[in-house]
Amino acid sequence: MATASLTKLAKVSALAMGATMLGRTLMKRSRRYRLIGKNALVTGGARGLGLDIARQLVLKGANVAIIARDPSEIARALVDLRQRRDSASVQVVGQVCDLQDPAAIDAMLAAVRGTLGPIDVLVNNAGMMQVGPLDSMSYADFERAMQLHCFAPLRTMLGVRADMRARGSGRIANIASIGGIVAVPHLLPYSASKFALMGLSQGMGAELAAEGIVVSTIAPGLMRTGSPRGATFKGDHEKEYAW
């Protein structure tokens, strides 16, 4: 009898596990998202990781707006992206914007909507690195990092929310960093602001899920995207760059 009971329990457990796995599979399938014809916005999209993300979106058939501060970088990136699209119907546009200026963010969002239409996909990728010991950092360094890595993504997320909520769907990806999980020496403004982005992104994901908006928080490790060449070095520049 004991053996029969154990066998029955094992079967019930197996069925329950199978149902759980099936449920997870169905959830994953329901979260698949077709990018063809969708309007995507990528901040920091003119070089490095942002440009790679924009390339993938274009290849998937999405209309893409890339955001950066440097007009010449945007021009080069647009040539690259337009060569990769399969159809001329895929729109690729660029917008100059200083993401540390809240009013500029609002104007940028309005301009992108005016060109592409409502935004379906938002990738908050823009970032900066300030490298050096704490004694070389100023309060303003922390403010700049927080504005770019936390408050700018917050403003763009709030800015596209109405577009996504109106359709009951949308995708937001916030590119944080391993430095937002483990504090990295000589990168304190960067790490502190990326920690803030991690919390903001995860909290927004919980808040917006009921509206059909999926928020992904991504924390890459070290990548060969040219970030050190765009970093600001303080203290002993040569040693900090080598490190």
139-146 and 188-208 helices cross at what angle (nearest 10)?
30
Name residues whose C-beta falls within 8 Å of residue 52's C-beta, 6 or more positions apart in sequence.
225
Q: Is the Cβ–Cβ distance between 22 and 48 less than 8 Å?
A: no
The pair phi, psi for residue 50, each rounded to 5°, is -60, -40
3-state DSSP call for residue 226?
Answer: coil
In angstroms, the CA 205 to CA 242 distance is 37
The pair phi, psi for residue 110, each rounded to 5°, is -65, -40
Residue 33 is among the residues annotated as catalytic for this protein? no
Which member of 33, 139, 190, 241 is catalytic?
190
How big is the CA angle at 122 (ends 151 and 95), to the nearest 5 degrees? Answer: 80
* Dihedral over alpha carbons 150, 151, 156, 161 (to 10 degrees): 90
The secondary structure element, H or E, covering residue 144 is: helix 139-146
Catalytic residues, by residue number, are 190
